[in-house]
Amino acid sequence: MTKKVTKVGLLTSGGDSPGMNAAIRAVVRTGIYHNLEVFGIMRGYSGMVENDIFKMESRSVANIIQRGGTILKTARCMEFMEPAGRKKAYDNLQKHGIDGLVIIGGDGSFRGAQTFSNEFDIPCIGLPGTIDKDIAGTDFTIGFDTAVNTAVEAIDKVRDTADAHDRLFIIEVMGRDAGYIALHSGIATGAENILIPERKTNVDDIIQSLEEKSKRKKLVNLIIVAEGDEFGGANELSTYIKEKLPALETRVCILGHIQRGGSPSCMDRVIASRMGYHAIECLIEGKHNVFVGIQNNKMHYTPLNEAVKKKQRINEEWMNIVKILAT
């Protein structure tokens, strides 16, 4: 596609993540700097289908860079998954003259953008907004750094009470399909075991490890579990361990949605600002249907059709680090 983009639609889709507002701010102000009109689309693809679209000005994004969540709201839209729903969305974009889109979200959002662009020849740029860091093609996603730091802060507090009572704590963090939050927060807090969806869980090995640590009088243990681990979440693991080791005092803590909220970290604000700036640059330069990532601190562009097929893979080195440092 070589068509010139003059009016940009901007939406946030899927799960919210800290830093989305920083990205929104960057897209709007960079677009205006280049004499483009930028339109906010409320509640993701639902807003496109329902024509909940409004023109944004520079002041529309004042005082939002430090806020979590997204001022454009987010939602999942079943109607957009159907051809009739996408045609309705396209007709609404036509009413506003919108000829380019910036989508801030995860791989599901990118999949929708790719399908929409193929059907209606609308240039789309994706920005990876997800706390899970599960999109191949970027070292970081918007919201991951804040979410993992939120988890680390909570886990540190749990360790204090675990130490006071000589307890095993099983802490469940977010990560339905990806274990990066569990992996990073577990290493950062010195967890004895980390369970992630990407690796098969051998619970008997965990039982054996706990028995061995008990013999060494190591009574304080943390196990970090990603919610999508194949064995189940923290409650399922706790039930199994209590059956095998009834004398071990075990507690469960599920961190839940606190990991999605809160003021974004400096890193998330900066990478979101960089990505938002480059999203507009891509549209102007004719670099369409890519998502903007960062690799080795440089901007990296991955075609949307590749992004939706690939997942970040956890390097075996990470698991070796966990194994060695937890002994």
Q: What is the residue whose two structure tokens read 């606190």?
A: 258
Mean residue pLDDT of the chain comes to 91
Q: Are 101 and 124 in contact (CB under 8 A)?
A: yes
Amino acid 117: pLDDT: 95
> What is the number of structural domains in the chain?
2
Residues 107 and 200 grouped into a single domain: no
Whether residue 154 is found in the same domain as residue 245: yes
* Phi, psi (rounded to 5 degrees) for 249: -75, 115
283 near 155, Cβ under 8 Å?
Answer: no
Q: Are residues 38 and 127 in the same domain?
A: yes
Residue 158's pLDDT band, with cuts at 50, 70 and 90, is very high
CATH of the domain at 223: 3.40.50.460
**Whole-number Cα distances in Å, 99 to 39, 48, 88:** 11, 13, 15
The rounded distance, in Å, linking the Cα atoms of 145 and 147 is: 6
Residue type, 141: T
CA 114 to chain centre: 19
- What pTM was computed for the model? 0.92
CB 291 within 8 A of CB 153: no
Q: Which of 16, 99, 107, 132 is catalytic?
A: 132
Residue 309's pLDDT is what? 60
Cα separation of 203 and 237, whole Å? 8
Nearest to 105 by CA among 146, 73, 66, 59: 73
Instruction: Report how far residue 160's alpha carbon sits from residue 183's, in angstroms, rounded to the nearest whole number.
Output: 20
Indicate the range of 88-102, 211-225, 235-249 predicted with least confidence. 211-225
CA–CA distance, 232 with 11 (Å, rounded to integer)? 33
Residue 218 has pLDDT above 70, yes or no: no
- Residue 214: which domain range? 145-260
Least confident of 44-58, 266-280, 310-324: 310-324
Please list, residue by residue across 184-211, b when 16 or more beta carbons sit within 10 angstroms of its beta carbon and e when fewer do: bbbbebebbbbbbbbeebebeebbebbe
Q: Is residue 84 located within the same domain as residue 212?
A: no
Q: Residue 79: its pLDDT value, please?
A: 95
User: How sure is the predictor about 69, in pLDDT bands with cuts at 50, 70 and 90?
Assistant: very high
pLDDT at 176 over 90: no
Is the model's pLDDT at 112 over the cut of 60? yes
**CA 33, 13, 288: angle at the middle one, nearest 5?**
50
Q: Is 2 part of any domain? A: no
Beta strand segments in 61-211, E: 100-105, 124-128, 168-173, 193-195
Are 171 and 41 contained in the same domain?
no
Please indicate whether residue 132 is annotated as part of the active site: yes
pLDDT tier at 221, thresholds 50, 70, 90: confident
Task: Say what the pLDDT of residue 1 is.
Answer: 46
Contacts of 262 (CB under 8 A, 6+ apart): 18, 68, 146, 150
pLDDT more than 70, % of the chain: 96
**Reported confidence tier of residue 166, pLDDT bands at 50, 70, 90:** confident
Q: Are residues 91 and 30 in the same domain?
A: yes
> Does a structural domain hold residue 318?
no
105 and 20 belong to one structural domain: yes
- Binning pLDDT at 50, 70 and 90, where does residue 296 land? very high
User: What 3-state DSSP class applies to 185?
Assistant: helix
Q: Do 275 and 130 belong to one domain?
A: yes
Length of the chain: 327
Residues 170 and 136 in one domain: no
**Residue 250, CA distances (Å) to 167, 188, 209, 219, 313 in order:** 6, 22, 15, 11, 31
